[in-house]
């Protein structure tokens, strides 16, 4: 019997889509699916490296809240300058998410995935050695640029390389490292403050992140390019090669990868219209859903969580108002940070619940429920300001704990997940980046104005206003709902293509 020629074997392999290869499961002889196969080493590597980006974001952004009193004292900042220091990385995120994140649609996912981490490392070094306040602000904005770029890119790298059945959980688990980072940043602050009594302690806090960021940059150098993106740009042979690398196993399967080469009309329309497509049917609804609730979410998330140590210290009487010595400032900062550690722990509980429940209840239901829960927690915290003694302490902690629990169960995690799913592949980086930028307008606004408004209006008014924005977020989410639970990325693309075909006559009439 003659050996079968490799060319004959290859021609016998029916073409399939990228997602069909990624989703393929082993099966018994009668066709019964076997257990879901483990992720390949490349899929695990991509997930881990993307998770590291979210960890750094949580650690750096919320470490600012711990470092802020020391920065304030070292540079003798005014309230407006204090708000600027807090808002600087968020301003960078706002610009970077769209200006840099959208480059992944043009240049490729892997290139941007690597470049953003190099950028982060360079600006972190600048933060730790900044000799003046203006230089510090510039470097903090640069850090934000890198983190903003990572918002859409990390999500896309995971979602475009994972099986459909675990895509949501994979993205949310990676996103959960933002909460781990927030907790770690607070803990690092506590450790540094507990062992040193110098105003320059905040430099050590940021310096801790430099070496890990270098290691992550090196790791990202060896990841694969997204086969979805390559196929969408017509580079079929490269897509087949990268898909085979992504699915590398021992023994190797599939040994031959043949991708369907047809391009959908909808994808071509998206590439030709670019950024403007976000504001036209059918993607306008997705843009509203991805961006507006995220904006409202970030108003509360960054206002409350960054200033949690300050609010706790002031509310429960831990702040040494009349002690302006270095030791007094550090002691007050340490007390507030220790209280924040307990509250921030509920971020982890919330994200664990989100991971467990997302496939059961879907993205939209959890986001609506989370918004309502956030409002409830903020109302409880607002009521605490009318109390005294033990009742005040209990209510402020319960309110903030409930807020952190529900924000990660719902809107803080779901807005991130939804933004990377409701746009077609050719528009995914641009759409998710734009949504993140709109969200960070809320984050920048609240971070800059919070210290000023907190001094002028008081804690009660601010907290109750943020409760109202949470309820508005629940309403807008429901009115513009697009549920992607259980859908593959290719099914989402097809859904948009059908909607685009239906909307095109209307657009042409205009």
150 assigned to some structural domain: yes
What tens-digit pLDDT sequence spans the chain (510 residues)? 445 455 554 555 678 889 989 988 777 777 776 665 578 999 999 999 999 999 999 888 878 877 888 888 889 888 788 878 888 888 898 899 888 888 899 899 999 999 999 999 999 999 999 999 999 999 999 999 999 999 899 999 999 999 998 999 999 999 889 878 877 887 787 787 776 667 778 898 899 999 999 999 999 999 999 999 999 888 999 999 999 999 988 888 888 889 976 644 445 455 545 678 888 888 899 999 999 999 999 888 776 665 555 555 555 454 444 444 444 444 444 444 555 566 667 878 898 999 999 999 999 999 999 999 999 998 998 887 777 777 877 887 788 889 989 998 999 999 999 999 999 888 898 999 999 999 888 877 876 777 677 778 877 888 888 899 999 999 999 999 999 988 888 888 887 666 665 655 544 443
28 assigned to some structural domain: no
Closest-CA residue to 152 (of 101, 227, 99): 101
247 assigned to some structural domain: no
Per the structure, how many domains does the chain have? 1
The CATH number linked to 176 is 1.20.1250.20
25 assigned to some structural domain: no
325 assigned to some structural domain: yes
- Would you list the DSSP string of 292-332? HHHHHHHHHHHHHHHTHHHHHHHHTT---TT--SHHHHHHH
Sign of dihedral through CA atoms 464, 409, 437, 501?
Answer: negative
The whole-model pTM stands at 0.80
Q: Which residues span the domain enclosing 492?
A: 43-223+277-509
Burial class from Cβ neighbours inside 10 Å (0-12, 13-18, 19+) for residue 127 reads buried
DSSP category for residue 225: P
10 assigned to some structural domain: no
129 assigned to some structural domain: yes
Closest-CA residue to 412 (of 288, 299, 287, 308): 299
379-407 exposure pattern, b = at least 16 Cβ within 10 A, e = fewer: bbbbbbbeeeeeebbebbbebbbbbbbbb
Q: Where are the beta strands (DSSP E) in 154-215?
A: none
Helix axis angle for 164-195 and 411-419, nearest 10°, is 130
- For residues 146 and 119, the answer to whether their CB atoms sit within 8 Å is yes
19 assigned to some structural domain: no
How many whole angstroms separate alpha carbon 102 and alpha carbon 77?
35
């Amino acid at each position: 019997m003659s050996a079968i020629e490799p060319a004959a074997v290859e021609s016998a392999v029916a073409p399939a889509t990228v997602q069909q290869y990624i989703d393929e499961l082993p099966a018994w002889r009668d066709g019964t699916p076997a257990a879901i196969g483990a992720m390949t080493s490349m899929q695990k590597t991509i997930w881990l490296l993307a998770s590291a980006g979210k960890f750094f974001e949580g650690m750096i952004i919320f470490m600012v809240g711990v470092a802020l009193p020391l920065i304030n004292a070292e540079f003798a900042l005014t309230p407006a300058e204090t708000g600027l220091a807090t808002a600087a990385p968020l301003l960078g995120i706002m610009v970077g998410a769209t200006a840099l994140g959208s480059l992944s649609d043009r240049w490729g996912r892997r290139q941007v995935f690597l470049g953003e981490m190099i950028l982060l490392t360079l600006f972190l070094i600048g933060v730790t050695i900044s000799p003046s306040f203006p230089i510090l602000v510039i470097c903090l904005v640069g850090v934000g640029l890198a983190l903003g770029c990572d918002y859409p890119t990390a999500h896309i790298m995971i979602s475009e390389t994972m099986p459909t059945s675990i895509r949501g959980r994979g993205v949310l688990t990676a996103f959960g490292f933002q909460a781990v980072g927030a907790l770690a940043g607070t803990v690092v602050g506590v450790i540094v403050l507990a062992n040193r009594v110098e105003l320059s302690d905040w430099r050590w806090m940021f310096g801790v992140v430099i070496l890990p960021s270098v290691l992550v940059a090196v790791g990202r150098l060896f990841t694969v390019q997204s086969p979805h993106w390559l196929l969408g740009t017509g580079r079929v042979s490269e897509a087949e090669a990268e898909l085979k690398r992504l699915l590398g196993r021992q023994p190797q399967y599939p040994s031959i990868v043949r991708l369907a080469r047809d391009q959908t009309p909808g994808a071509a329309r998206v590439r030709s219209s670019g950024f403007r497509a976000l504001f036209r049917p059918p993607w306008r609804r997705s843009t509203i859903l991805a961006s507006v609730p995220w904006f409202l979410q970030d108003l509360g998330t960054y206002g409350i969580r960054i200033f949690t140590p300050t609010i706790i210290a002031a509310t429960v009487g831990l702040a040494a108002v009349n002690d302006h010595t270095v030791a007094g400032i550090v002691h007050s900062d340490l007390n507030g940070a220790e209280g924040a550690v307990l509250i921030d722990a509920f971020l982890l509980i919330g994200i664990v619940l989100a991971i467990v429940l997302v496939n059961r209840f879907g993205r939209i239901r959890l986001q609506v429920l989370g918004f309502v829960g956030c409002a409830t927690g903020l109302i409880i915290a607002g009521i605490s300001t009318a109390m005294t003694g033990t009742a005040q302490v209990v209510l402020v902690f319960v309110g903030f704990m409930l807020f952190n629990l529900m924000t990660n169960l719902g809107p803080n995690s779901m807005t991130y997940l939804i933004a990377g799913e409701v746009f077609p592949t050719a528009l995914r980086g641009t759409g998710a980046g734009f949504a993140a930028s709109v969200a960070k307008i809320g984050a920048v606004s609240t971070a800059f104005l919070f210290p000023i408004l907190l001094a002028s209006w008081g804690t009660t008014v601010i907290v109750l206003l943020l409760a109202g924005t949470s309820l508005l977020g629940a309403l807008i989410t429901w009115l513009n709902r697009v549920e992607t639970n259980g859908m593959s990325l290719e099914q989402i693309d097809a859904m948009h293509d059908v909607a685009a075909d239906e909307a095109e006559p209307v657009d042409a009439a205009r």
